[in-house]
Structures are given as structure tokens and as C-alpha cells.
Structure 1
Amino acid sequence: MTETLLDPQAIAIVLLGTLAATLLRCGVADSRLAIAGVRTLLDRPFAVDRAKAELSVQIREIADDGFIRAEPRHIGDTEFDSLSDLIIHQRSIQSLHGEHQKFKEARLAHAQTATRVFESAAELAPVFGLAGTLMALAQAPGPAAQGGGLVGAIAMAVVTTLYGLVAANFVFAPLGSAIARKSRREERDRDAVLAWLEQGIRQTGITDPQPRIEREAA
């Protein structure tokens, strides 16, 4: 039974055929984004609490020294490092949302592309399962043949159909859904941190580039 289920030829027909067809349908660039999307599933998720803890230092510096004397606070996140630079160098919080939107659109585009590639693979896998089934039946010996040739052909036909369904519903479709879920969760968390950062800066009472020390001296 185990030998019947583990058929290397059937695996090659379904998996290699599906991967090749997906590559031809979606292209090399989109396929690379899909692979990168799988790697992101292994990365640690965006840490909201850590980001707030690091950015709170930036807020305190702005509250104490104003926009001019405060230094950008980098936390190791490309987007929020860029936003921190923007706050200090432009001395304004008005441009935060535009910069955030650029990062968000790029991330969403990558996630949507990766999801679409895996959805295509999920569509193609059963097709190659059926193709393997037809190939196996076409190679089956005639009704008058004796021995296990006919049985083996029928077994391969059934297994290739099974592989196609398993690959579609337990590999490719779940990977696409996982990438989409992680993308939605990350964008929700990043939006929350951005809103928290903007509110924190506004609560300092500094809405102009003049440092607090200079205002108090005046």
C-alpha cells in the first residue's frame, strides 16, 4: 500500500508539471515574489509592542528637545526608520501618512502577487493530476494481459489524481492563504503603530520645528 502511494513518477508528473506550468503562466518575477512570500512566513511577525517601546524614545526626545535637536530613532524596521528620518529632517508629522502609504502599497502588491501565484498553482495541480491519470490509463495493457501491469497502471492513475488534489488543497492553496493572512495582520498592526506614533507626537504639544527650550526662553 505504501509503495503504491509513494510513486515517484506520479509525483514528478504532478509537482514538476504544476511548477513548470505556474512559472510559464505567472512569469519569473512573480514566481520569485511567491518564493519570497513563503520565506516571510518563517520570519518573526511585526512586533507591535517592541516598535512602540523603541519609538517612545523618539517621542520623548521630540518632547524634550523639539524637532531640531532630536535625532532620528532607528528600530531596525525599514518603514519606521524612514518615517523617523522624515519626522526629524522635515520637522513635520504631516507627511507620515503619504510615506507610510508608499510602503504599504508595495507590501500589499508583493503579497497579492504571491497569493495569485499560489492560487494559479492550486488551479493547475488537479489538471496535472488528471493528466497523469490519462497517461497511466493510456499505457495500461489490454484486457487480455496477465499479471500486475494493468493493476499497476490503474494504481498510478488513482495516485496521480490524489496527488493533484492534495497538492492543490493542502500545499498551494494554504500557502497562498497564509501569505494573505500574514499580510493583512501586518498592515493592521503597522497602521495601529503609525496612529499611536502620530498621537504621541501631537500630545507633546510641539507642532512647529522650534525646540521647547527656545520657546521657553522666549
Structure 2
Amino acid sequence: MDFASLIGIISGLALIFAAILIGGEADVFVNIPGLMIVAGGTIAATLLTVQFKDVLNAFRAAYIVFTRDKTNVKDMIDTMLELSRISHRHGLLRLGDVETDSHVLRRACNLLAEAASEQVIRNTLQNEIDSLVSRHMTVQDVFRKMALYAPAFGMLGTLIGLIQMLSELTNPDTIGPAMAIALLTTFYGSLLATLVFMPIAGKLRARTLSEVTNLEVIREGCISILTNDHYAHVYEQLSSYLPEDSRKPLKIGRSEQQAPKE
């Protein structure tokens, strides 16, 4: 579970509702027709812009991002170091027996076990990275569009409310409540855009960058395993993906060092 996102959404809603309750009654902020205009219009415009399957994938991806922890780049580096140790002790062929939940890492291990060239491994894994970025950009674009449409439909609802209010100017007592209802749709649109859609798009973008970094670690780690075949060299290649305060020099015992030449 992504606790940062959970804390963010709960604290944001709590502060907004607290401000509403402190300022007066909360009932005046509830308007079903306004919600129908903003929510229904936003969904309709989004479906007109992108394919239905992309909308479903977007909400599915958002659920996954908010319910699953992201893979730490340090953990991925440790995984590549372990693969390097296996290769160093048992040969590249043993990597074909490695079991992992990551289909990209499994594919990379198979390429190493098959003694694929460096260029083949680099091209294959780069294609995986490009494909992941393309898929994730499509998902992020759905929420960016919804963040764009929600305020627009909020303004549209406000215009509808103003038109209805102006048509009843003969009764001055209804002008104030009618104006409040007209402004509510703008409130709904801004709230959805700033507290829901844009934060989700930002969270998805952050997760994309994290996953791209992990795939780059896999790519560079596999190439280093293929060319150097020693976990110390692999670590030196991959340590640049870590912050400086997280980089620790590896201690290599004599059993891990190459025998001196006679």
C-alpha cells in the first residue's frame, strides 16, 4: 500500500471538509445536478477522446500504483549482483533456471543463458523500456485529459446555473442561493482536477520513472554480466543509479579474487 498517497488524499479531503464545516453548513456544498454535469461530462469527453480500453487500463493502473509498493532500485541492483554471482560460479547457462516474477528479468536471463550478443541484449531490453514508457504515457494522458475537462465542465455548469438564475430575476430572494448553486459546479471541477486527477497522473509518472530505472538496471547489469562476469564489476557499473550516501564499496575476499598470474 502506498501510504504517502493514502495520507495525501485523506489529509487533503479532511482539511477541505474541515474548512467547509468551520465556515458554515455542509449541505450547501451538495448539489446532485452539478455533480452530474461535472462527473458525467468529464467521463463522456474522455471517452470521446480516448479508447474505452485505455480508460479501463488507466483506472486499473491507478489501483495498482496506489495498492502496491514500488520496486526499490537498490533491491534490483542486489538482484543483479546475485545473478552475477551465479554466473561467475556456475556459468551463464545456469541463469536460464532463475525464477522471477519480472518477465523482463526472466527474458534477460534467458538471453544471457543463450549467449546472446551484447547488441541483441541492449536492443531487446531497450525495446522493453520504450514499450513500457509508451503504455504508461497513454495511461497518464487519460488522467491529464480528465484534469483538463473537469474544470471546463465545472464552468459549463456554472453558466447553466447563471442562465437559470437570470431567468428568475423577478424573485430577488432566490438570487443568492441560485448563485451559490451555480458556483458549486466550478468547485466540483476544480476539486476533482487538483485533488484527484492531476495527483494520480503525477503518481503514475513517478512510478513510470521508477520502473524505467529498474529496467535500465537490468539492461546495464546484464551487459556487465556478459562482458565482465564478476559481481564487483557489475556493482561498479550499477552503483551510479544509487544516491552517493547509499553506495557502499564491496569487500572482496581472496576467494572471490582472481588468482595471481605466475
TM beyond 0.5: yes
Q: Is this contact kept in 2: 1:119–1:176, CA < 8 A?
A: yes
Aligned to 2:56, which of 32, 42, 51?
A: 32
Q: Which residue of 1 aligns with 2:41?
A: 17
Q: Which residue of 2 aligns with 1:144?
A: 170
Instruction: String of CA shifts for 1:133-175, please: whole Å, max 9, x gaps.
Output: 122222225222264x433321111111111122222221222
1:44 and 2:69 matched: yes
- Between the aligned partners of 1:200 and 1:86, the Cα distance in structure 2 is 12
Spell out the pairing of 1:117-196 with structure 2 (5 A cutoff): 117-140=142-165, 142-145=168-171, 147=173, 149-196=174-221
Q: Which residue of 2 aligns with 1:105?
A: 130
Q: Which residue of 2 aligns with 1:4?
A: 28
- Between the aligned partners of 2:86 and 2:172, the Cα distance in structure 1 is 86
- Between the aligned partners of 2:84 and 2:191, the Cα distance in structure 1 is 51
- The runs of 5 or more residues in structure 2 that have no matched partner are 1-24, 231-262
Q: TM-score, normalised by structure 2?
A: 0.69
- The runs of 5 or more residues in structure 1 that have no matched partner are 206-218
- After TM superposition, give the deviation of residue 73 of structure 1 in Å: 1.3
- After TM superposition, give the deviation of residue 119 of structure 1 in Å: 1.6
Q: Is this contact kept in 2: 1:74–1:84, CA < 8 A?
A: no
Supply the AA of the counterpart residue of 1:33.
N
Q: What is the percentage of aligned positions where both structures have the same residue?
A: 21
Q: Is this contact kept in 2: 1:30–1:117, CA < 8 A?
A: yes
Supply the AA of the counterpart residue of 2:215.
R
- Between the aligned partners of 2:64 and 2:219, the Cα distance in structure 1 is 22
- Between the aligned partners of 1:192 and 1:56, the Cα distance in structure 2 is 11
- Between the aligned partners of 1:69 and 1:100, the Cα distance in structure 2 is 20
- After TM superposition, give the deviation of residue 128 of structure 1 in Å: 0.7
Kindly report the root-mean-square deviation, in angstroms, between the aligned alpha carbons of the 2 structures: 2.2
- After TM superposition, give the deviation of residue 84 of structure 1 in Å: 0.7
Supply the AA of the counterpart residue of 1:3.
D
- After TM superposition, give the deviation of residue 70 of structure 1 in Å: 5.1
Q: TM-score, normalised by structure 1?
A: 0.82
Q: Is this contact kept in 2: 1:33–1:113, CA < 8 A?
A: no
- Tell me which of the two structures has the higher relative contact order, counting C-alpha pairs closer than 8 angstroms and 6 or more residues apart: 1
- After TM superposition, give the deviation of residue 81 of structure 1 in Å: 0.9
